[in-house]
Amino acid sequence: MRLAVLTGGGDCPGLNAAIRAVVRKGEVGFSDQLIGYRDGWRGVMEGDSLELSVAACRGLLPRGGTVLGTSRTNPYKKEGGSRAVLKTLERDGVDALVAIGGEDTLGVASRLAAEGVPVVGIPKTIDNDLSATDVTIGFDTAVEVAAEAIDRLHTTAESHDRVIVCEVMGRHAGWIATYAGIAGGAAAILVPEEPFDIDAVCSYLERRHAKGRFASIVVTAEGALPAEGTISVASPELDQFGHPRLGGISNTVAAEIEKRTGFESRVTILGHVQRGGTPTAFDRVLATRFGTAAVDAAHEGAFGQMVALHGPAVERVPIAEAVARPKRLDRTLFSSVAEVFFG
């Protein structure tokens, strides 16, 4: 079989581990010939590929980023884009394509599968907002990075009697904010799923500081939204898939906290630090399991399917199901666990 692989959308730790697993399983397990397309769907549209082999993948397991490159190119937003994809796959004699991506990359994969393209999906995104899988590649590492940062923020906040608002990624979902906030002992967590009331946030801080503590960490997802009629935030610009380019809500939150409570406040935006660097052992194992399972799926002709983690097992689900709607934060986790520690 001639097996192709691509990585699309925002990068995350664990992509190289997944590429390595696809190549290893394909070459050693099935004597496949492997190629990689550069920069996600851009490489397929423009016929930009490279040969892959086990030898070429040496040293990839712990490396962050993606050796294939990535982009947010959407073939369905380009004149003749999906036709160009079909042409390249035919020219390159591709029997199956493994697309490693989040909602956008796999959204394209799902439409192509409906047109008969033999594609299998692997879920990745630090945001963990893809449906039909318990977890995506990259989430665990992002949480680890954010939790470590929060630990560090605690000591400097304590030294200066300050509130520090730490902004993490997550434009539609508060998974990173909630996990890192619980792990890091946040005094309040703001997520897109629960519009926040700044007065309630200030009350948590005042209650806490009245007990003799003078430092607090507030964790906010970049996509957190103020409740209607409270405070306003600037509208962001949109990318090719129509997603807002976020970042900066923490500045508004910190300014409002300082104004309303008088507590000196600072901001730390973690940004792309959460997407860079070496994956955790969990993400390396997950990527390796997903990569090998995707090759099995391709050889069994399970096209239009995505590999997914359900409890301890890697199973297959229709890609269409995974991209139908974002996987929102588990409300019970927020209200029955995270909120218990606010203030």
Residues serving a catalytic function are 127
Tokens representing 215 are 């430092």
Q: Is 181 in the site for ligand F6P (CB under 6 A)?
A: no
Stretch that binds ligand F6P, among 49-57, 155-163, 168-176, 276-284 (CB under 6 A): 168-176
Cβ nearer to ligand F6P, comparing 13 with 118: 13
Per CB under 6 A, contacts with ligand F6P among 219-258 are 222, 246
Q: Is 146 in the site for ligand F6P (CB under 6 A)?
A: no
Helices (H), the chain: 15-24, 30, 41-46, 81-91, 103-114, 139-160, 175-184, 198-210, 249-261, 281-299, 319-323, 331-332
Distant-in-sequence, close-in-space partners of 281: CB < 8 Å, separation ≥ 6: none
Q: Is 169 in the site for ligand F6P (CB under 6 A)?
A: yes
Q: Is 170 in the site for ligand F6P (CB under 6 A)?
A: yes
Shortest reach from residue 239's CB to ligand F6P, in Å: 6
Look at residues 174, 154, 175 and name the one whose alpha carbon lies nearest to residue 164: 154
- State the Cα–Cα distance between residues 230 and 336, nearest whole angstrom: 25
Cβ nearer to ligand F6P, comparing 9 with 40: 9
Distant-in-sequence, close-in-space partners of 62: CB < 8 Å, separation ≥ 6: 17, 278, 279, 284
Q: Is 7 in the site for ligand F6P (CB under 6 A)?
A: no
Cβ nearer to ligand F6P, comparing 124 with 289: 124
Q: CA quadruple 65, 66, 67, 73: dihedral positive or negative?
A: negative
- Decide if 256 contacts 233 (C-beta within 8 A): no
CA 192 to chain centre: 15
- The contact mask relative to ligand F6P for 98-137 (x = CB under 6 A, - = no) is ----x----------------------xxx----------
Shortest reach from residue 238's CB to ligand F6P, in Å: 11
Shortest reach from residue 259's CB to ligand F6P, in Å: 27
Q: Is 10 in the site for ligand F6P (CB under 6 A)?
A: yes
Cα–Cα distances in angstroms (integers) from residue 306 to residues 191, 193, 262, 310, in the given order: 27, 26, 50, 12
Per CB under 6 A, contacts with ligand F6P among 184-213 are none
Shortest reach from residue 152's CB to ligand F6P, in Å: 21
Q: Is 171 in the site for ligand F6P (CB under 6 A)?
A: yes
Q: Are strands 305-310 and 163-168 parallel, antiparallel or unpaired?
A: unpaired
Residue 182, beta-bridge partner list: none
Q: How many residues bind ligand F6P (CB under 6 A)?
A: 12
Residues that bind ligand F6P (CB under 6 A): 9-10, 102, 125-127, 169-171, 222, 246, 275
